[in-house]
Amino acid sequence: MYARIYGEATQDGGPGALEYAKPLRWLPTTPQGSLIIGIHQKGSWMNTYRKMAAVALAAGVGLSAAACGSSSTKTTPGTGGSFSPVLDPATKVTISIDCAPAANKPVESKQWADDVAAFNKIYPNVTINAKPMTKCEDPAPFTAMLQGHTETDVFYTYFTDKQQVLDSGAAADITKYVTPQTVPALKDIQPAVLALNADGGKLYGLPRTNYTMGMIIDRALFKRAGLDPNKPPTTWADVATDAAAISKLGNGISGYADYSAANTGGWHFTAELYGLGGRMVDSTGKKAAFNTDLGKQVLQNLYDMRWKTGGIGAAQMIKWGDLQAAMAAGKLGMYISAPDDITYMTQTLKGNASDYGIGPMPGTQGALTGGDDYYFKKTDTPDQIKAGIAWLNFKLLTPGKGQFQYDRNKTGGLPVGIPEPEFFAAGSPSLTADNSNKLASATLPVANYEQFVSNPVTPVVEPPNAQAIYKVLDGAMSAVLTNKNADVAQLLAKAETDVNTVLANS
């Protein structure tokens, strides 16, 4: 058996700050499937995005046996003998799962029902009890669910929930169930993404979506301001110049805007710091690392656009939803975000799809990555785990099916074309097939996203205790955007103290 090793990666920053590396070669595994591996660490950023991470392996994705398939995993379903990860179609089993589309999304709800029906043609004895949700996770109810052990058999989480889920003891180890037999596209999923669902050599979940952040622009405003919409700014100096030009259009138009409330300010501070090459926490995950020249630069960039160069308008204390509404109304030139904001502005806010483009994260030294996934309840039976994996593979992980059935999305009036999710590796058959299918059914102007797709930036995961850290940094973000006398150094020093307290108590 063989497993691919990826070399020259770093783990610079907080736990899970994944760096990417060039594929080196296939290496043999032991007869038991354990990968014989040595990691060469290097203190510089790698300059490719979708290439795999040695850190993913070092972080504990012990999938070599599953990925290769040992003799113990080749038993034909229903024939008895040694363990097989594959669900026998004759097995009668019921699973509950949350984050099904709610009634306010009739197209997605119908697709879910159609997919269940198609799935049941393969597995006629599996009953899927779906829990529709208008919002898949609220922090307080989610924590209460974990504490009360009231999860569904297959339950939805954000990537950043991993430690909370594992600490609660709620998750089942699914390592031996996830193989190329049960997830045929497994070999094409970035190891770094799988690592976000792994701990201590064990796999606990499977990805649903993921993203990296970039700069969303209003192409129409760029043209009116005499700027090239095919060249979104990639440095903060250029952001300031372009923002000032757009703001001069007047009529309440702001060239750039940023969050500063409801934890979103700290989230964007983190994203902008990553873009410059900084980190929020040190390598231990127990000490703040943002009170640096790079951290000061993040706040100074915003302060200068607000008070000196005129690129940011007077409306402040902005939270999620406000920026999207402003751009959909033609009042905002650009802001940083994940690509799916384009879907939201087009589908929900009825904005003009041709107006929106996206480029790489300014600074281009790192891009905040995030996403969501599904875990399996600790008390699930083996057959429930097998059934859950079979369903997730059908619905979420197979090009041309489920969430990747773009012709169906087009027929249903859903936007098609944004570069997300991003968990298939560059050059892999799954990504090639997915891109081809997406292009064939695109309803969005995919050419508008070319700069983002062609200039990938190294993804970096959110810091530990992200929401608590973001809440602290909201104060620094709001201060530089509302107070002309704000002192950047003092704001970061106080934030550093407060975040260190958060980390010490976590």
Residue found under tokens 């799935």: 119
- pLDDT, residue 500, reads 98
Is it the case that residue 19 has pLDDT exceeding 70? no
Residues 222-232: what's their mean pLDDT?
98
Task: Say what the pLDDT of residue 81 is.
Answer: 60
Q: Name 211's Cβ contacts closer than 8 Å, sequence gap at least 6.
A: 338, 339, 340, 369, 370, 371, 420, 421, 422
In this structure, of 66-80, 163-177, 273-287, 381-395, the range with the lowest mean pLDDT score is: 66-80
Kindly tell me the sign of the dihedral angle through the C-alpha atoms of 318, 321, 326, 332: positive
* pLDDT score recorded for residue 82: 85
* pLDDT at 51 > cutoff 50: no
Name the strand (E) or helix (H) holding 56.
helix 54-58
Question: Span 144-157, mean pLDDT?
Answer: 97
Residue 79: pLDDT over 70: no
pLDDT (mean) for 276-286: 96
Q: Which of 28-42, 134-148, 299-313 has the lowest mean pLDDT?
A: 28-42
Q: Please report the domains of the chain, with CATH numbers, ordered by start residue.
A: 82-207+370-444 (3.40.190.10), 214-366+448-504 (3.40.190.10)
Query: Using one digit for the tens of pLDDT, what is the confidence trace for 311-358?
Result: 999 999 999 999 999 999 999 999 999 999 999 999 999 999 999 999
Task: Give the residue-averaged pLDDT of 61-69.
Answer: 41
- pLDDT at residue 22 greater than cutoff 50: no
459 to 35, 169, 337: CA distances (angstroms)? 25, 29, 14
Does the pLDDT value for residue 44 go beyond 80? no
pLDDT at 32 over 70: no
Task: Please state which of the ranges 44-53, 56-65, 92-101, 164-173 shows the lowest mean pLDDT.
Answer: 44-53
Model pLDDT, residue 334: 98
Percent of the chain with pLDDT over 70: 84
The rounded mean pLDDT for the chain is 86
Quick one: how far is CA 309 from the chain centroid?
33
Confidence at 367, pLDDT banded by 50, 70, 90: very high
- Amino acid 506: pLDDT: 80
Which string of DSSP letters, residue by residue, matches 263-276?
Answer: THHHHHHHHHHHHH
pLDDT of residue 101: 97
- 431-489 residue pLDDT tens: 999 999 999 999 999 999 999 999 989 889 999 889 899 999 999 999 999 999 999 99
Residue 178: partners with Cβ closer than 8 Å, 6 or more residues away: 63, 66, 85, 186, 203, 206, 389
What is the pLDDT averaged over residues 253-273? 97
Closest CA to 473 of 453, 456, 496: 496
Q: Hunting for tokens 């980190």 — which residue is that?
A: 279
Check whether 205 has a pLDDT greater than 70.
yes
Report the pLDDT averaged over residues 262-289.
97
Q: What is the pTM of this model?
A: 0.78
**What's residue 251's pLDDT?**
97
Calpha distance 178→102 (Å, rounded): 29
Which is higher by pLDDT, 31 or 417?
417
Nearest Cα neighbor of 383 from 120, 123, 118, 192 is 123
Q: 2 or 267: whose pLDDT is higher? A: 267
pLDDT exceeds 90 at position 62: no
Looking at the predicted structure, is the pLDDT value of residue 35 above 70? Answer: no
Mean pLDDT of 112-122: 98
